[in-house]
Amino acid sequence: MSTIISVKELRKNFGSVIAVNGVSFTVNKGEMFGLVGPDGAGKTTTMRVLCGLLVPAAGEVSLFGLPLNKEVRNIQKKIGYLSQKFSLYGDLSIDENLHFFARVHGIKSYKEYADRLLSFTRLTGFRTRRVDKLSGGMKQKAALACSLVHKPEILFLDEPTTGVDPVSRRDFWKILSDLLKDGLTIFMTTPYLDEAERCNRVALMHEGRLIALDEPDLLRRSINREILEIVCNDAFGTAKLIRNNFDVDLQLFGDRLNILTGDGESLASELLEYLKQNSVDVISWRKTIPSLENAFIYLINREPKVARLSEEGA
């Protein structure tokens, strides 16, 4: 695979706040690359640097083999960007927004491709409707169509499904899957680990640094643990009881306790007997493989603590 994005030791600060701290990675042409992390991790700042919207404090960034600091205008002609904040004009129709963004990019013959985009996003029947009259999911699909109207080679998506209903999320992912089949490279940020599972490769970001980068399945395996999952009525109280009496990595998800262990068989026998002796009502339990979320939390807990102020929207 050929490299289409290269980032080396990228740093970006806002005054005394370090938003991105020595980040390095590459993105291959035609893949979906996910940058994953909680709010304030530095995801959006990293993406804005790659799009030429922010100037880095240090490091080297190139897209299409071109240095970003010298070829930003040429690079921006070949990328599409869907930001966190809705960026279409609400008092214009979908058609009028498409026309506007096509003209911004200097595209004159776009109508046939616009028809295809609207059909692709299932918005043909709404093309004359004002954008501010659309549902949240339809607004995102309209914004996606506008970001594609100039036929970019890389599509940057900044948390594209945040606040979107489940049905629209599914439609959005179907569209992205079809775009990948057409050879588009997609670089996306997301706080959702279930979405990250769909990416070819995932970079886990925390407090401005990358803590892991690999294919989702390999990231799960890399922690060399299995999960003992216990479902009980008083999950919070049971978690406290286990933590006070066992030296284990425990993650709490609603009524589920996920205990990461290298020997699930031995721990299950000992732990279940202990819970029984302490009158804990275990509804069910099982051994399973770690999810990407399990792996991310496990890796974060082993990261050295860094004093860092969070920047809103980073």
CA angle (101 as vertex; 85, 123 as ends), nearest 5: 75
**For each of the chain's 314 residues, which pLDDT tens digit applies?**
799 999 999 999 999 999 999 999 999 999 999 999 888 899 999 999 999 999 999 999 999 999 999 999 999 999 999 987 777 898 999 999 999 999 888 888 888 888 988 988 889 999 999 999 988 888 888 998 999 989 999 999 998 887 777 887 888 888 888 889 889 999 999 888 888 899 999 999 999 999 999 999 999 998 888 999 999 988 999 999 999 999 889 999 988 999 998 875 678 888 889 999 999 989 999 999 999 999 998 898 887 654 433 344 45
Task: Note whether 100 and 87 are within 8 A (CB).
Answer: no
- Cβ–Cβ contacts within 10 Å for residue 254, how many? 8
Alpha-carbon distance of 277 to 171, in angstroms, equals: 49
| Cα distance from N-terminal residue to C-terminal residue, the chain | 30
CA angle (140 as vertex; 135, 141 as ends), nearest 5: 95
pTM of the model: 0.86
Alpha-carbon distance of 54 to 102, in angstroms, equals: 23
Alpha-carbon distance of 292 to 288, in angstroms, equals: 13
Task: Note whether 27 and 33 are within 8 A (CB).
Answer: yes
Alpha-carbon distance of 301 to 193, in angstroms, equals: 17
Of 166, 201, 229, 168, the C-alpha closest to 292 is 201
The reply to whether 224-289 shares the fold of 3-220 is: no
CA angle (304 as vertex; 214, 46 as ends), nearest 5: 50
CA angle (175 as vertex; 169, 180 as ends), nearest 5: 125
The CATH number of the domain covering residues in 3-220: 3.40.50.300
Alpha-carbon distance of 172 to 178, in angstroms, equals: 10
Q: Cα–Cα distances in Å, from 189 out to 30, 43, 95?
A: 17, 6, 28
For the stretch 71-120, pLDDT in tens is: 999 999 999 999 877 778 989 999 999 999 998 888 888 888 889 889 88
Percent above pLDDT 90 for the chain: 55
Q: Cα–Cα distances in Å, from 155 out to 141, 161, 169?
A: 14, 15, 17
CA angle (185 as vertex; 221, 176 as ends), nearest 5: 80
**Sequence ranges of the domains in the chain:** 3-220, 224-289
- In 97-200, beta strands by DSSP E: 154-158, 185-190
Token readout for 292 is 């990407």
The CATH number of the domain covering residues in 224-289: 3.30.70.270
